[in-house]
């Protein structure tokens, strides 16, 4: 199979690159830079063999498209088949969605039965929540961001969350606010948000905040669905450490199973007629005693390499599925109940994110220590025994206090 991996998020890109680097796969990486990005550890990977340099699409969308279409044409002419476009960030996903008519002649993409079209409703959050509500899937109360709706939310619930409905190429909401969502608990918070985001061009939504206080009340489920829209394999994540707190990214991820979440997820996959990898995030509302869907993502996720290390490679499943292999036979080998992974309580760590959290708040070092001492199986997002250089480069930027916890 032939894959095109445009890079934006380094962790996701490196994990996807390693997951797809199996026999008979050809991978072409598309590399572009961000102004504030000092280093990409994936530049040091021995898997990064075929690459092209691209203009940054946040500034030069037409030039970016022109170059990938030219690449797609050449590859299709040479191999007599379209290339599989694997977006390793929201930026690369939104580019594909907004320009799919132009690039669909040359690329497959995750989404529908024939891998022929992305599903925009998965990436436009307001449309997604409307779709789920229509089909009686429980979600938090969600409205379009405007003055009147903000008043309603404050009056009825006393607080709410603001987040982008559709992300832009430069991820400007996160860049301005340093969080994926903003918690508003009074009028003063709302006024501060308006002031900080007065030039915001993102379409925003507001949502009821669901409070939870247990780690297993917030669960992302990672899925592979076949051409009949049946989940062939799934595993749930446990976010042991999130930074920034509450609305940041998981710096330490573990695994679990949850039958109720799996059952709801199968219903969603059928409704979407989805094929390929998919992540659905749930929060448990302890007052209503119901699981609420708060997020969906149909591209490789940050911790994708974690599952490859545990021999649950989602992108390997994609490769086999595309070639019409029997997925049931492959998945049988995973056998989660007997698998050593659960016995060793594995944890996957993003060292750079943990390092940033310790620099901002030294007390996080103790929290990290308490989490990792319970596990006998720790992996890092850049470290691989057959591809060591990304980790060795990252290690030079990490605090010695943090490295000491892992004896590295």
pLDDT of residue 331: 86
Cα gap 255→334, rounded to integer Å: 14
Pairing of β 276-285 and β 378-380 = unpaired
Is it the case that residue 60 has pLDDT exceeding 80? yes
Asked whether the predicted pLDDT for residue 333 surpasses 80, the reply is no
Tell me the pLDDT tens digit for each residue of 167-176.
899 889 988 8
Residue among 257, 247, 179 nearest 216 (CA): 257
Closest by alpha carbon to 95, among 73, 114, 69, 70?
Answer: 69
Q: What is the location of CATH 3.30.470.20 in the chain? A: 215-405
Tokens of 359: 């620099």
Start-to-end Cα distance in the chain? 37
Q: In the predicted model, is pLDDT for residue 269 greater than 60?
A: yes
Distance CA(63)–CA(65), nearest Å, equals: 5
Q: Give yes or no for residue 78 having a pLDDT over 60.
A: yes
Burial class, 271, CB count within 10 angstroms (exposed 0-12 / middle 13-18 / buried 19+): middle
Percent of the chain with pLDDT over 70: 98
Fold of domain 141-207 = Dna Ligase; domain 1 (3.30.1490)
142 — phi, psi (to 5°)? -135, 135
Structure tokens belonging to residue 236: 């749930």
Cβ within 8 Å of residue 5, ≥6 positions away: 13, 16, 17, 20, 27, 28, 29, 30, 86, 88
Residue range(s) occupied by CATH 3.30.1490 in the chain:
141-207
pLDDT of residue 215: 87
The confidence band for 280, taking pLDDT boundaries of 50, 70 and 90, is: very high
Largest CA distance in the chain: 62
Tokens 């698998």 locate to: 339
Stated as kind and residue range, the H or E segment containing 324 is: none
Q: Which residues make beta-bridge pairs with 223?
A: 234, 278
Strand bridging mode 218-225 / 276-285: antiparallel
Assigned superfamily of 215-405: ATP-grasp fold, B domain (3.30.470.20)
Strand extents, DSSP E, 286-331: 290-297
Q: Within the chain, which residue ranges are assigned CATH 3.40.50?
A: 2-109
Q: Residue 324: which residues within 8 A CB-CB, separation 6 or more?
A: none
Tokens 């990252």: give the residue: 394
Rounded to 5°, angle at Cα 278 from 277 and 284: 150
Reported confidence tier of residue 396, pLDDT bands at 50, 70, 90: very high
Q: How far apart are CA 389 and CA 383, in angstroms?
A: 8
CA distance 40 to 37: 8
Tell me the per-residue pLDDT of 118-154, one tens digit each, with 9 for 90 and over: 999 999 999 999 999 999 999 999 999 999 999 999 9
234 membership: H or E segment, kind and range: strand 231-243
Q: Which CATH number fits domain 2-109: 3.90.1310, 2.60.40, 3.40.50, 1.10.10?
A: 3.40.50
Could you give phi then psi for residue 58, rounded to 5 degrees?
A: -65, -25
What does the pLDDT look like over 235-253, one tens digit per residue? Answer: 999 999 999 887 889 999 9
Cα distance between residue 72 and residue 105, in whole Å: 8
């Amino acid at each position: 199979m032939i894959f095109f991996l445009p890079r934006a998020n380094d962790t996701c890109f490196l994990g996807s690159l390693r997951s797809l680097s199996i026999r008979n796969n050809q991978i072409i990486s598309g590399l572009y830079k961000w102004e504030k990005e000092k280093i990409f550890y994936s530049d040091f990977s021995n898997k990064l063999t075929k690459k092209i340099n691209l203009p940054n699409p946040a500034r030069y969308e037409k030039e970016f498209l022109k170059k990938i279409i030219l690449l797609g044409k050449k590859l299709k002419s040479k191999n007599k088949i379209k290339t599989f476009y694997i977006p390793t960030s929201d930026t690369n996903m939104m580019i594909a969605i907004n320009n799919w008519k132009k690039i669909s002649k040359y690329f497959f993409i995750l989404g529908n039965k024939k891998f022929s079209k992305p599903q925009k409703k998965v990436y436009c959050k307001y449309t997604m929540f409307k779709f789920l509500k229509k089909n009686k899937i429980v979600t938090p109360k969600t409205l379009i961001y405007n003055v009147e709706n903000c008043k309603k939310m404050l009056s009825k619930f006393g607080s709410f969350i603001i987040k982008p409905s559709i992300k832009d190429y430069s991820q400007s909401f996160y860049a301005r606010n340093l969080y994926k969502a903003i918690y508003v608990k009074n009028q003063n918070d709302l006024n501060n948000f308006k002031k900080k985001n007065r030039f915001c061009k993102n379409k925003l939504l507001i949502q009821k905040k669901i409070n939870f206080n247990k780690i297993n009340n917030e669960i992302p489920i990672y899925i592979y669905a076949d051409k009949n829209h049946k989940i062939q394999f799934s595993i749930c994540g446990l976010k042991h450490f999130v930074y920034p707190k509450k609305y940041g990214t998981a710096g330490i991820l573990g695994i679990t199973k949850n039958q109720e979440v799996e059952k709801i997820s199968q219903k969603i996959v059928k409704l979407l007629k989805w094929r390929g990898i998919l992540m659905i995030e749930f929060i448990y509302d302890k007052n209503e005693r119901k699981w609420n869907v708060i997020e969906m993502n149909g591209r490789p996720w940050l911790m994708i390499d974690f599952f490859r290390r545990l021999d649950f490679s989602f992108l390997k499943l994609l490769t086999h599925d595309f070639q019409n292999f029997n997925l049931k036979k492959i998945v049988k080998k995973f056998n989660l109940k007997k698998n050593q992974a659960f016995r060793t309580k594995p944890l996957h760590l993003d060292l750079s994110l943990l390092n940033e959290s310790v620099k901002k708040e030294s007390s996080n070092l103790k929290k990290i220590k308490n989490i990792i001492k319970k596990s006998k199986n720790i992996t890092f997002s850049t470290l691989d025994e057959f591809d060591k250089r990304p980790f060795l480069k990252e290690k030079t930027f990490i605090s010695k206090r943090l490295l000491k916890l892992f004896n590295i």
